[in-house]
Structure 1
């Protein structure tokens, strides 16, 4: 597996080796010892999967408060997403900055979003399935979010955000300035 890092310390893009032939392909999607040694020494406790039927569905930006903060290892099983991590670590020199990457079923890349980052994605194809491992289980009392379209963050979503398909929860998330 190959690792790519960003100017914002924390998130990591993982590109697996894919071995293909006339039958299809094989790849190692996750290997605990390798991940602990090369990315983060964490334990994953829950796997989540979502299906988004429409192009332009935005899920996020979500995070959980300590002590239930979540690190997430995200990959796209079918379709394509623009996946985003926003630094919300108080006191961080990159607070409010974001990274974005296109994850597809074809490139099989995975984005590691560590605790201290808000996470979200936008679907680029219909019937997109996303799978992610998390380091803490979902906790409704610790669940929080940030507005996906907050101009202070300035995410360059690859779509007209006025046409975004959102949950009721994501329509009313607070701005980043509310986290300071």
Structure 2
């Protein structure tokens, strides 16, 4: 078994990279991921990336914030310490709106940040996985899983035909704990 884990095709132009994606998919070669220094419109649809579920998480955190904000106000104003101030009711619902809204926004924002960091494994102490350092600067990189796609010569030729500046083979790095 080969130690090669990924085949990386490095492109200087986004149009060449998109052409490379088309060539690879036409030959039934699955693409692991693409790394670009800027957003490229339409690449998600071409790669078959599913839409994000973060809006669902945002709704859940917002609903939790609404319930907690309203519950805190109800408990403090109507249940635990009801006060009769000028004959006003102890459960003034219009007065609860600003605080409930602010707690909703606060918990939604904090929950979204936590969800984003956990989902993308961006917690402290984790070493970043970088395929190619130039992918964040001036190169557009297509990563292909070498274990899944065994015809490396075909992949190499397809990437070079599409305009790849460089084709690299990332090796598997084994860690010894002795």
TM-score using structure 2 length: 0.25
Higher relative contact order (CA 8 A, sep 6+): 2
More helix by share: 2
Bigger radius of gyration? 2
More strand by share: 1
